[in-house]
Amino acid sequence: MQPVVLVTGASSGIGSALCKRLLREDAGVRLCLACRNMQKATATKAVLLAAHPAAQVTLVRLDVSSLESVLRAASEIQRRFQRLDYLFLNAGIMPNTHVSFKALISGLFSGRAVHMLSTAEGLLTQEDCITADGLQAVFETNLFGHFILIRQLEPLLCCLEKPSLLIWTSSSNARKSAFSLTDYQHSKGKESYSSSKYATDLASVALNKHFNKQGLYSSVVCPGLVMTNLTYGILPSFFWKLLMPIMWIIRFFTKTYTLTPYNGAEAQVWLFKQKPESLDALMKYHSCTSPMGKNCVESQKMDVEEETAEIFYQKLLELEKHVLAKLNAPLSPK
């Protein structure tokens, strides 16, 4: 049986490159692109089919920042497929971002320059907003919408005979100090992206604890710094083009400047080839690119405590109960 793979945010950047690479690995995969913009999704599908005319590529409309859309997409996916082998939780936003050039310049002359350039620690702030569901947009898009999707798709994901794998696109910008259990949506701070990505790491750890015995595994990847619409929202694309020679030089000091979506998808493609049971729940898998442009994957232990992950998971379940009751929707399966 050919694996069924669903990718959220497949219409551009890392998600779209991942789809291309998955078909190159195994032209028989049954690929479902879950996207909010059907025009962009159709264009991506056409590109995939041009390279692999016999490929099985379908589309499903999914806006992870709308619970109604998530519930509709989940029931459509359940109608179409009997199981899901891989679920790539990749859609993400980093809206209204400001770069602190003062921190950048002083950081460049400190002993932490390489760390700063690979994690963006202390460099970025965001202005977040509230969605129609009454949740913080970055939290709902990057984490909670995906969490509800997983919970709704449990019947397709939990099978002891054949394990399934969740693969979250996290970030080197995930930071413990940006996250708080008392304000896990990050409504008060200005680092909603860092907080949402740290929350992703916590959720993945907790999902492993609760679902491994049911045949569902979860892993986290970090694509490195990649030129996509997300990064073009931080600085304009012409600016990035000017910076390109500097970024190639930075590659001599850190392998995290993967720069292209193809390179950025390395860890996701690597995970696709692993046995879910063989993965370490506490590791983050990083896409890396050498100065010569050679790709590899490196694993690094996450800065996550299992007790915090469990408390956060219980909070996510409480919020799920609350929002589903508001929508008059049945609770996800136990």
Ligand X SMILES: CC(C)CCC[C@@H](C)[C@H]1CC[C@H]2C3=C(CC[C@]12C)[C@@]1(C)CCC(=O)C[C@@H]1CC3
Active-site residue set: 193
Stretch that binds ligand X, among 133-141, 243-251, 258-266, 302-310 (CB under 6 A): 243-251
Nearer to ligand X, 85 or 191 (CB): 191
Dist CA 173 CA 118 (whole Å): 8
Binding of ligand NDP by 295 (CB under 6 A): no
Q: How far is the CB of 215 from ligand NDP (least distance, A)?
A: 26
Residue 124 interacts with, from ligand X, ligand NDP, none (CB under 5-8 Å by kind): ligand X
Q: How far is the CB of 171 from ligand NDP (least distance, A)?
A: 4
* β-bridge pairing 97-99 and 216-222: unpaired
Q: Considering only residues 143 through 172, tell me which ones interact with ligand NDP, judged by CB under 6 A.
A: 169, 171
Question: At residue 263, what are phi and psi to the nearest 5 degrees?
Answer: -65, -40
CA 227 to chain CA mean position, Å: 16
Nearer to ligand X, 46 or 114 (CB): 114
Stretch that binds ligand NDP, among 7-15, 101-109, 181-189, 237-245 (CB under 6 A): 7-15
Contacts 24+ apart (CB under 8 A), 214-217: 214/158, 214/160, 215/158, 215/159, 215/160, 215/161, 215/162, 215/163, 215/164, 216/154, 216/157, 216/158, 216/163, 216/164, 216/165, 216/166, 217/163, 217/164, 217/165, 217/166, 217/276, 217/277, 217/279, 217/281
What six digits make up the tokens of 144? 């909670």
Q: Does 104 bind ligand X (CB under 6 A)?
A: yes
Binding part of the chain for ligand NDP, among 10-18, 52-60, 108-116, 118-126 by CB under 6 A, reads: 10-18
| Shortest Å, Cβ 136 to ligand X | 17
20 exposure class (CB count in 10 Å sphere: 0-12, 13-18, 19+): middle
Interface with ligand X, residue 324, by CB under 6 A = no
> Is 114 one of the binding residues for ligand X (CB under 6 A)?
no
Distance from C-alpha of 219 to C-alpha of 189, rounded to nearest angstrom: 27
Given the rule CB under 6 A, which residues bind ligand NDP? 8-9, 11-15, 35-37, 40, 62-65, 90-93, 141, 169, 171, 223, 225-226, 228-231
Residues that bind ligand X (CB under 6 A): 99, 104, 117, 119-120, 123-124, 171-173, 225, 231, 234-235, 243, 246-247
